[in-house]
Amino acid sequence: MKQVLAGDRSIVLGVYHHFKGKLYEVVDVVRDCDTLEYKVLYRALYYDVQKHIVPGDFFYRDVDEFLSDVDREKYPDVTQRERFKLVSPNL
């Protein structure tokens, strides 16, 4: 299992399930050039014609937000606890 450090946290590289149902692959941890904050770099593994998202499109998110639990007040019917749940680690 490959992990990368993000300050005092570590992120496992691999495929994650977002609580809204889509799959993403975490490819690395990067730093914001202005703030030096750590960000999780991940790419979509799905098509979304409405949002013009194709497999391979990259996104980034703050490490703390990526590792956070779902806001139950905002999303009371969601069954997944984590915002992103690891489903297949890279070897």
DSSP annotation of 91: -
Looking at residue 52, what is its pLDDT? 92
Residue 80 φ/ψ, nearest 5 degrees: -80, 130
Residue 76 neighbours by CB under 8 Å, 6+ apart: none
pTM for the whole thing? 0.91
Looking at residue 15, what is its pLDDT? 97
Kind of pairing, strands 14-18 and 84-89? Answer: antiparallel
Within the chain, where are the H helices?
A: 63-66
**Token pair 């496992």 is at which residue?**
12
Digitized pLDDT (tens) for each residue of the chain, 91 residues in all: 898 989 899 999 999 999 999 999 999 999 999 999 999 999 999 998 899 999 999 999 999 999 999 999 999 999 999 999 999 998 6
Looking at residue 91, what is its pLDDT? 66
